[in-house]
Amino acid sequence: MVLIVIGLAIFAPILAPNDPQKIDVMNSLNHSSREFPLGTDQLGRCILSRLLYGARTSLMVTGLVLLVSISIGTLVGTVAGIFSDRLIDKIFTALCEVLLAFPGILFALVIAGMLGPGVLNIMIAIAIVSWANYARVIRGLVIGVKNADYVKAARVAGTNHLHIITWHILPNIKNTIGTLIVTDIGSTILTISGLSFIGLGAQASEAEWGMMINEARMYITKSPQMILYPIITIIAVVLAFNLIGDALASNEELEGL
C-alpha cells in the first residue's frame, strides 16, 4: 500500500490523466466522467490529477521535514549522550525540556504564523518543533550503548570520540532511529495537511491535500464528492503508514515509546 502510494507520487506526471493546473471553467464541479475520473473542482481542474500531484507535495515535504529534524536530533542527541556529564549536555537537555514542555502543534502554528504562509515555512516550523523529541530519545539510546563493554574497551584502546560514534554507537541505534522515523510519518503528514488546511502551507495554485479540502469546503453541499476524495486519500495514506509504524514498533519492542 505504502509502496503504491510512493510509486503513484513518483510517476504522477505519467499517470495523471490531465494537467493538475489546467483551468477549465466550463467543466467545473463535474461528476466523474471518462475524461475526469473523479470529477473536477470549482475551476474545472481534474481532481484525480491534483490528488496524484498532491501526493508528491505531501510525501516530499514530509520526507524533508523528517530528514532535517532527525539529522538535528541525532547530532544533538549523540553529542549530549556522549558528553552526558558535561555542561553541554545540561544546556541541550534544558533546551529540549523547554521545547517539549509546550504542545508541539501550538508551537508549529506560532512559528509558521510568524514566518508567514508557504510550504518552506511550515517545513521549518515543524522541524524546529520536532527535533527535540528525537534528540531526547537518541540521547537516552546513546547513553545506554555508551556504557556497553565494547565501547568502554574501544575507549580504553584509545579510540577517539568521532570513531566511537560512527563505528560503535550509530550502527547500534540505527534500527531504532529508523523505526522512530516510520512511526512519525503519519503524524507529520497530518500536521502538514492541517497547517495547509488553514491556509499556512501550499498556496492556491499548488496541489496539496489539505489545501484541496479547504477549497472544496465552499462547495460542500453542491458537490460533496470533491471534498470526500481528498479526505479518503489522506486517511488511507496516513493509516497505511501508521500500520507499518505499529508493526515496526512492536518488532522493536518500542510499544508505548
How crowded is residue 202: how many other Cβ atoms within 10 Å of its Cβ? Answer: 26
HSE at residue 136, side-chain half, CA atoms within 13 A, is 14
518500542: which residue's cell?
254
Write each residue from 202 to 241 as x if it is in contact with other proteins (CB under 8 A), else as -, in one continuous string.
Answer: --------x--x---x--xx--x--x---x--xx--xx--
464541479: which residue's cell?
29
Which member of 59, 119, 190, 248 binds other proteins (CB under 8 A)? Answer: 190
Question: Can residue 244 be called a binding residue for other proteins (CB under 8 A)?
Answer: no
547513553: which residue's cell?
143
- Total interface residues for other proteins by CB under 8 A: 54
For the CB of residue 124, give the shortest distance to other proteins in the complex, in Å.
11
Q: What is the DSSP string of 73-106?
A: HHHHHHHHHHTTTSHHHHHHHHHHHHHHTS-HHH
Which member of 38, 137, 185, 211 binds other proteins (CB under 8 A)? Answer: 137
Please give the residues from 60 up to 99 whose contact with other proteins meets the rule CB under 8 A. 97-98
- In the complex with other proteins, the residue whose CB is nearer, 16 or 145, is 145
Report whether 161 contacts 178 (CB < 8 A): no
Question: Can residue 149 be called a binding residue for other proteins (CB under 8 A)?
Answer: no
Write each residue from 19 to 48 as x if it is in contact with other proteins (CB under 8 A), else as -, in one continuous string.
Answer: ------------------------------
Q: How far apart are CA 188 and CA 181, in angstroms?
A: 10
- In the complex with other proteins, the residue whose CB is nearer, 178 or 199, is 199
Under DSSP, the state recorded for 167 is I
As beta bridge partners, residue 40 has 46
Which member of 112, 123, 177, 211 binds other proteins (CB under 8 A)? Answer: 112
For the CB of residue 157, give the shortest distance to other proteins in the complex, in Å.
32
For the CB of residue 96, give the shortest distance to other proteins in the complex, in Å.
11
Report whether 44 contacts 23 (CB < 8 A): yes
Question: Can residue 2 be called a binding residue for other proteins (CB under 8 A)?
Answer: no
- In the complex with other proteins, the residue whose CB is nearer, 18 or 130, is 130
Report whether 202 contacts 223 (CB < 8 A): no
CA of 225: how far to CAs of 133, 183, 238, in Å?
Answer: 38, 30, 20
- In the complex with other proteins, the residue whose CB is nearer, 18 or 229, is 229
Q: Percentage helix, strand, coil, to 5, in the chain? A: 75, 0, 25
Which member of 187, 219, 244, 252 binds other proteins (CB under 8 A)? Answer: 187
Binding-site ranges for other proteins (CB under 8 A): 97-98, 100-117, 133, 136-137, 140, 183-184, 186-187, 190-191, 193-194, 197-200, 210, 213, 217, 220-221, 224, 227, 231, 234-235, 238-239, 242-243, 246, 255-257
